[in-house]
Amino acid sequence: MKLISKSSEGLHGEIKIPGDKSISHRALICASISDGTSKISNLQESEDVINTLNSLKQLGISIYKKNDSYFVEGKGFRGLKESKKQLYFGNSGTGIRLMSGLLSIQDFPSSLTGDESLSKRPMKRIIEPLIKMGVNICGSKENTLPLQITPSENIDGINYEMPVASAQVKSAILFAGLGAQGDTKIIEHSTSRDHTERMFEYFGASINYSEKETVLKKTDKFTPQIIEIPGDFSSSAFFIVAALILKNSDITLREVGMNPTRIALLNKLIEMGGDIQVFNHSSFGKEPIADLNIKSSVLNSCEVSSDDVANLIDELPILFVASSFAEGISSFKEIEELKHKESDRLKAMQAGLDKMKVKNFLDGDVFCIEGMGKDFKSPNFLAETFYDHRIAMSFAIAGLNSSSSIEISSPESINTSFPEFIDLGNRLGCNFEVS
């Protein structure tokens, strides 16, 4: 597959963004351990989510699709069955870390693995707290995949202070906490995504949570639910930035998830001068949604503090692109976590920005980008993506504001999170050419 992103004259129209990836994982897992059948609408059908779905099927859960909705026949907290083969999660850090917590409380052994990229990502951050709870879990000598989990005699609740803000680590602990003796308490210094807390609450868990603290009390069961999944804000981010940096653009995105722990990018782009209107506020279950209207804008530089990073981490690559077309120098503090995603995203983005002829540099722990302004047109080049979906989509958006085009390497990586990206983009006026 070959993807070339060509210069566009502007974006127009409205679309509905596919379901949120983070919420889709959690909906499938929580439905699988409820006591009865749940219905899930607008489930994201990316490779990451389908790998979680297939793993749950391997563990004995019946999941089927009917009239565009998925039905999940839950079997309770301890109703999973041993898989006859290794559980494969592809590129999904969310899927493997959440399922590690849940499999910790089962009475059978499990082996979890992923693709080459996921196999390099750090798993010590979930291994350590789970071991403190009494879980028998281990990884490779380097604390990477595969993960091996064997039954534990006793799992105890934990008071755990998070060393690094991570919704995946927090969620692994919470899923293990469903089978623990005593309360599970998690303290965060920087707020991470709270989709697991909201989903647990929706399924009937005894859970209290705030920006800095989450407490899960003894919960005997989940009650099956009807779940409507909001549009994925992280997917929306690419078209939001595209409309802002392209002249003559005016687009509307419908039913986008507006969870406060997810919209740091939206707030940052508005601070930069982005013409973004938020309206039709509503909710799907415990998750807020709204429609967004985005128009061409003159953007100013931004400052991202260390406190911003946890809720901007997935959107930093596309924010780097927005900053390249802004006025002034943008700064990003303490973004070390970018090096431990699907690729070393900081290195990948630096390489691409260099090819774009956008000056960027590290000043201690601060990454800086000298914006080229609203009239800047990127030169033509081949963007190396290191098989990272967010790098691929970020440079595809940059290509829309190029002198001619940007070719994207390994564009098939986009399927891990947003397989509809090219088709929906072209509907809005993007100039994506696939061959």
Active-site residues: which are they? Answer: 314
**How far apart (Å, rounded) are the C-alpha atoms in residues 346 and 126?**
23
Tokens of 258: 């507006």
Q: What span, in angstroms and rounded, lies between the C-alpha atoms of 306 and 249?
A: 32
List the end-to-end C-alpha distance of the chain, in Å, as a whole number: 6
Burial 153-184 (b: 16+ CB within 10 A, else e): eebbbbebebeebbbbbbbbbbbbbbbbeeeb
Q: Are strands 37-41 and 226-228 parallel, antiparallel or unpaired?
A: parallel
Closest CA to 102 of 129, 80, 125, 74: 80
| 302 and 272 Cβ atoms separated by less than 8 Å | yes
What's CA 1's distance to the chain center, in Å? 24
Is the bond leading into 146 cis (omega within 30 degrees of zero)? Answer: yes
Q: How far apart are CA 185 and CA 157, in angstroms?
A: 8
Per residue in 250-275, is it b (16+ CB within 10 Å) or e — as a string?
A: ebbbebbbbbebbbbbbebbeebbbb
Amino acid at 254: R
